[in-house]
Amino acid sequence: MKTGVAIDLGTSGFRSQKVDLDTGEIKRTVVTMRNPLPGANVMDHMDFAINYGLGNAHKLVINAILVLIDRLGVVPEDLYRLSVCGNPIQLSLFQGIPIDDLAYAGERKREKLNIQEQNRESKQMKSSDIAGLEKFSNCTVIIPPAIKHEIGADALALIVNSGMLESDEIAIATDFGTNAEMALKAGGVIYTGSAAAGPALEGQEIKDGVLASPHAISDVEFEGDNIRCYVLDKEMKRTKADLVDPRTGAVLEQGDIRAKGITGTGVIALMEEGIRNGIIKLPKIQTDDGIIHLQDGVEFTENDIKEAGNAIGALRAGHITLCNAAGIQMADIKISHMSGAAGTYMDAKKAQQIGMNPYNAALLTQIGNTSLKTAREILLSDDRLKELQEIATKIVGTHVMFATDDAFKEAYILELAYWGEGMDFKMYKKFLKKKELPQLDDPIENPTVEKLVERDIPVFGDEGYEMIKQTGTFMSVAMPGCSECAEKIRECPTHAMSYRDDAVKIRSDLCDGSNCKKCLRFMPKPYSWENLVVEEPVSGSTVEAETE
């Protein structure tokens, strides 16, 4: 069988599928729970690549891909095509091309550093042209185009798969993930942007947060004063679970499924339900200990409200900014398309109630993982790749850079005040008007929800689905004879460090990257990130032991 592999290089994790190139049939799906690069967001990944070596970042990405191909059951001589899709940073790191032009938004800074913009058009290349993939001697690598260097193939996939290109309606499409790509169509023009929403919508940076996976709380509903939890089962389906007293955690009715944490969709549901039922009065939780207690000891704290609010606020500020660029009001948006894992599993109506979908959108569609779908399409069709390049070229001039846009800055300051400082919604709207920004109405009551897929990845293939808990990627710093190391590594807050074979080993997917770097303070010299070496990937039985 001639085999192809399609990969979504997501900021929160990689998703891959083995495909029969003769029939187009999906055979197997393997995903990682985390991205192999240190840190939980794209800014951390960029910082690591710039400050500690593009080569190191590239090798971590490639090593994770090698593990995925191994777990898909593909031998090198059978792999004929490999396609990827993702944001420009992930695609650049995959190829090993510089990302300086992505790191600096200001033109003066670029001129001062003599930064050259990289060519990110679609391409096909031999696997031997990408360091680390040389052993796949029969393989062609397919890379889709970016809309512009700041927003990439994943945003293009969102636009194409939402159907907004074929409609004259004013509509917005959002990938509810860490990098929050979004596109607004108004007056026949598509305006694109990308808000660094952060990892809270993926269940990270939340006290008991986990990525969407079996045994994660994905939804909650109040029954009187108590909370009913809904937990994902092995098939990633929402399953009725425990009824608990949110003030104490006492179980009033036990369900048949246990929980290990709460995912981003559960966080969104808890925020909406909590605000509506009064247990949350921003920015405080109205319990004796300031904690909402869920089943199996899972807790939601006031700091979690702040983290979730930062993410929700970035999304709504992004929507306001695109409307401002298009010269329309938020109330003019009648359709909201939701993609990504969070966009698939969250309750669309609850998301609208707290501002993640525009309040006046009468139709909410949930369309699944568009990035992996696009990777699979270009895996099977060169014509599809050419078509995407043509679309990307046509919409290149309508990108809004949020980092330098005054409307985004003003809107996001208001969001931070609303979620974290107790500003009421009436005052929020008053300041929007004062700043001459697009206005918000109150949420409509009964939007229509079209859930086009039950899972973000609708088809797993007859060889099954596997979620890998670790990417098999490690970095190390040689520390021969270090008598303190075994003790000091215990201070790592994410438990990413170990000491063996005279070296400090760091699991790159667990490392919190530039958001942390606590190890640089507590580890003895000569420990330094400048001395990091990326090790060969761990595969086979070692990764299998860590598999869900």
Mean pLDDT of 487-514: 94
User: Based on the domain organization, do 120 and 54 belong to the same domain?
Assistant: yes
Looking at residue 195, its pLDDT comes to 85
User: Based on the domain organization, do 496 and 462 belong to the same domain?
Assistant: no
User: Based on the domain organization, do 80 and 124 belong to the same domain?
Assistant: yes
Q: How far apart are CA 293 and CA 245, in angstroms?
A: 7
Distance of CA 401 to the CA centre of its chain: 19
What is the pLDDT of the chain when averaged over all its residues? 91
β-pair partners for 190: 185
User: Based on the domain organization, do 10 and 78 belong to the same domain?
Assistant: yes
Q: How many structural domains does the chain have?
A: 3
User: Based on the domain organization, do 464 and 483 belong to the same domain?
Assistant: no
Q: How far apart are CA 182 and CA 173, in angstroms?
A: 5
Strands, E assignment, 43-92: 79-86
φ/ψ of 468, rounded to 5, equals -90, 125
Residue for token digits 């290349």? 125
User: Based on the domain organization, do 464 and 508 belong to the same domain?
Assistant: no
H helices within 114-162, ranges in order?
Answer: 153-162
Residue 145 maps to a domain: yes
Residue 496 maps to a domain: yes
Beta carbons within 8 Å of 33's beta carbon, 6+ residues apart = 13, 211, 213, 467, 468, 469, 470, 509, 548
Residues in the chain: 548
Which residue range is the domain that position 264 belongs to?
209-297
Assign 42 a pLDDT band (cuts: 50, 70, 90). Answer: confident
Looking at residue 202, its pLDDT comes to 65
Looking at residue 397, its pLDDT comes to 59
Spatial contact of 353 and 443, defined as CB atoms under 8 Å apart: yes
Looking at residue 404, its pLDDT comes to 87
Q: CA Rg, the chain, in Å?
A: 23
Looking at residue 208, its pLDDT comes to 93
Q: How far apart are CA 69 and CA 37, in angstroms?
A: 18
Mark which of 263, 297, 331 sits at the end of a domain: 297
CATH number, domain containing residue 484: 3.30.70
Spatial contact of 222 and 284, defined as CB atoms under 8 Å apart: no
Assign 398 a pLDDT band (cuts: 50, 70, 90). Answer: confident
Q: Which of 15, 158, 159, 85 is nearest to 459 (CA)?
A: 15
Assign 396 a pLDDT band (cuts: 50, 70, 90). Answer: low
b/e sequence 114-153, b meaning 16+ C-beta within 10 Å: ebeebebebeeeebeebebbeebeebbbbbbbbbbbbbbb
Q: How far apart are CA 385 and CA 351, in angstroms?
A: 33
Looking at residue 540, its pLDDT comes to 46
User: Based on the domain organization, do 244 and 139 belong to the same domain?
Assistant: no
Mark which of 268, 297, 326 sits at the end of a domain: 297
Q: Is the pLDDT of residue 547 over 50?
A: no
Q: How far apart are CA 91 and CA 147, in angstroms?
A: 13
Q: How far apart are CA 174 and CA 451, in angstroms?
A: 15
Mean pLDDT of 448-459: 91
Mark which of 249, 268, 297 sits at the end of a domain: 297
Q: Is the pLDDT of residue 407 over 50?
A: yes
Residue 91 maps to a domain: yes
β-pair partners for 448: 363
Token pair recorded at residue 40: 């939980």
Residue 183 maps to a domain: no
CATH number, domain containing residue 87: 3.30.420.480
Spatial contact of 402 and 194, defined as CB atoms under 8 Å apart: yes
- Torsion sign, CA atoms 11, 17, 18, 22: negative
pLDDT tens per residue, range 273-332: 999 999 999 999 999 999 999 999 999 999 999 999 999 999 999 999 999 999 999 999
Looking at residue 105, its pLDDT comes to 64
Spatial contact of 199 and 41, defined as CB atoms under 8 Å apart: yes
Q: How far apart are CA 201 and CA 345, in angstroms?
A: 11
Q: What is the pTM of this model?
A: 0.87
Spatial contact of 365 and 379, defined as CB atoms under 8 Å apart: no
φ/ψ of 307, rounded to 5, equals -65, -45
User: Based on the domain organization, do 463 and 492 belong to the same domain?
Assistant: no
What type of residue is 518? K
User: Based on the domain organization, do 462 and 514 belong to the same domain?
Assistant: no
φ/ψ of 38, rounded to 5, equals -60, 140
What type of residue is 393? T
Q: How far apart are CA 54 and CA 530, in angstroms?
A: 12
Residue 82 maps to a domain: yes
Q: Is the pLDDT of residue 545 over 80?
A: no
Spatial contact of 198 and 307, defined as CB atoms under 8 Å apart: yes
Spatial contact of 330 and 359, defined as CB atoms under 8 Å apart: yes
Residue 346 maps to a domain: no
Distance of CA 108 to the CA centre of its chain: 30
Is 237 exposed, middle or buried (CB count within 10 Å of its CB: 0-12, 13-18, 19+)?
middle
Distance of CA 538 to the CA centre of its chain: 24
3-state secondary structure of 160: helix
3-state secondary structure of 451: strand
Residue 187: count other Cβ atoms within 10 Å of its Cβ. 11
Mean pLDDT of 51-55: 93
Could you tell me what percentage of the chain is helix, strand and coil, using 3-state DSSP and rounding each to the nearest 5?
35, 25, 40
Assign 476 a pLDDT band (cuts: 50, 70, 90). Answer: very high
Residue 322 maps to a domain: no
Q: Which of 536, 532, 543, 476 is nearest to 506 (CA)?
A: 476
Spatial contact of 461 and 18, defined as CB atoms under 8 Å apart: yes
More confident residue, 214 or 79: 79
Beta carbons within 8 Å of 257's beta carbon, 6+ residues apart = 215, 231, 233, 239, 241
Q: Which H or E element spans position 311?
A: helix 302-326
User: Based on the domain organization, do 464 and 487 belong to the same domain?
Assistant: no
Looking at residue 203, its pLDDT comes to 62
More confident residue, 188 or 107: 188
User: Based on the domain organization, do 462 and 529 belong to the same domain?
Assistant: no
pLDDT tens per residue, range 199-258: 666 666 799 988 778 899 999 999 999 999 999 998 888 999 999 999 999 999 999 999
Residue 63: count other Cβ atoms within 10 Å of its Cβ. 23
pLDDT tens per residue, range 133-174: 999 999 999 999 987 766 688 888 999 999 998 889 999 999
Token pair recorded at residue 61: 């990405």
Q: How far apart are CA 56 and CA 474, in angstroms?
A: 11
Residue 166 maps to a domain: no
Assign 539 a pLDDT band (cuts: 50, 70, 90). Answer: low
pLDDT tens per residue, range 338-370: 998 888 888 999 999 999 999 999 999 999 999
Mean pLDDT of 184-210: 82
Spatial contact of 29 and 456, defined as CB atoms under 8 Å apart: no
Looking at residue 285, its pLDDT comes to 97
User: Based on the domain organization, do 146 and 247 belong to the same domain?
Assistant: no
